[in-house]
Structure 1
Amino acid sequence: MPHTKSPIPPVLPTQEQWDAIIQNDSAYDGTFFYAVKTTGIYCRPSCKSKPPLQQHVEIFPSPDRAAAAQFRPCKRCKPEGRQLPDEEWVLQLTELIQQRYAEPLPLQELADRIHGSPYHIQRTFSRIMGTTPAEYTQQIRIQQASRLLTTTKLPITEVAAAVGLTNASHFSTLFRKLTGKTPTEYRNLSLEKEALLDE
């Protein structure tokens, strides 16, 4: 979700600061911190995360100022000097998946979005949630598909596409694995229940 809560006019990076960000120049660490409006996260200049677009960057003189503008510290470069609790980091991941389940979400994409390493994401998420990020994403997709099957008349292929599963055969297989029914069986059962309630 785009970050729009900064209470003061944004300070844009100078060319020197932007060069330091792009080059991950550790010589500038401590002289300024940059925040990315589209992720709501702030970093050190030396952060190895995927470079942001320049127009999305704001500059802050300290971690406290970035935090006051409601930006969160990067998990990878730890700009505030202390580690974000794993539980809070996993919460950010689940919120991201719930918001973007209809998009392709490979592990590297999740890592880029919340500034972590794929290995640490996989290990930490699995430890706290008892499932992998990929499995959790599939669960959210099937939950949303179940809702669409019972509240709309969309064809099965369109339901699949709406939740990020463009292969209808794979969608049906996954749906049955997680619910015990095919999408058609699930929809028909829901219609039968509605008919009984209407009698």
Structure 2
Amino acid sequence: MELTDTVWEIIKSNSNVCDGKVWYGVKSTKIFCKPSCPSRIPNKSNVLLFTNLDDPVKCGFRPCKPCQPINELVSDEIWVAEINYILESYYDQDLTLSELALLVHGSPSHLRHVYQSKTGLSPSKKLMQIRMDKATKLLQSTKRPISDIANDVGIPNNSYFIKIFKNIYGITPHQYRAKHPN
């Protein structure tokens, strides 16, 4: 189904007039919703429409936790998988807890509680773990400057990046690169 101006207005106004007939998926988050979902309005260019409820799942989308488009509660495990997907996809951006909560359609406090209870890590610790893992790969596989690598993994402050890296690995990024030549 094509995203017409009429359907887009229904989504933007959170109208329930198309609920049960149309669902929309957000390509950037891989979450699908009812048109009446009260969550943040996605970018129009990221929206895919579905007229069959089975199609979003077949295309790899997960149901939204607040609007429950399949009329079932979304399990915490599925929600944590959504959170991990967002963390892995957007690790290089300034991703606050509030922004993460908006992207996965939940509240910051509930997100932090559920995520930590299921993974043993806070979302911010998981994000830093992903960033440092990406940084070690770049340090091993490229000769790019440390400041560029820091920026590439979402930490634009070079001295902060070096401090965090040394706290985790016990050596500076420069020393790490020297121990792991490509």
Coarse TM-score class (shorter-chain normalised): 0.7 to 0.9
Candidates 102, 105, 113, aligned match of 1:123: 113
Matched, 1:101 2:91: yes
Q: CA deviation at 1:109?
A: 2.3
Q: CA deviation at 1:85?
A: 1.7
Matched, 1:81 2:106: no
TM alignment of 1:169-180, pairs within 5 A: 169-180=159-170
Relative to structure 1, is the Cα distance of residues 37 and 161 closer, same or farther in structure 2, using a 3 angstrom cutoff?
A: closer
Preserved contact between residue 93 and residue 154 of structure 2 (Cα < 8 Å): yes
Matched, 1:149 2:139: yes
Q: Quote the sequence identity (%).
A: 36
1:141-165 superposed Cα distances (whole Å, 9 cap, x missing partner): 1112122222322222122112111
1:36-56 superposed Cα distances (whole Å, 9 cap, x missing partner): 334332211221111123344
Preserved contact between residue 139 and residue 149 of structure 2 (Cα < 8 Å): yes
Q: Which runs of no fewer than 5 residues in structure 1 stay unpaired?
A: 1-10, 195-199
Q: CA deviation at 1:63?
A: 2.7
Preserved contact between residue 76 and residue 116 of structure 1 (Cα < 8 Å): yes
Relative to structure 1, is the Cα distance of residues 107 and 50 closer, same or farther in structure 2, using a 3 angstrom cutoff?
A: same
Q: Which runs of no fewer than 5 residues in structure 2 stay unpaired?
A: none
Preserved contact between residue 65 and residue 74 of structure 2 (Cα < 8 Å): yes
TM alignment of 1:3-14, pairs within 5 A: 11-14=1-4
RMSD, aligned CA: 2.3
> Matched residues in 2 for 1:147 and 1:16: separation?
47
TM alignment of 1:26-105, pairs within 5 A: 26=16, 28-105=18-95
1:133-187 superposed Cα distances (whole Å, 9 cap, x missing partner): 1111111111121222223222221221121111011001101111111222222
Matching residue's letter, 1:43: C
Match of 1:21 in 2: 11
Match of 1:136 in 2: 126
Larger Rg: 1
Matching residue's letter, 1:59: L
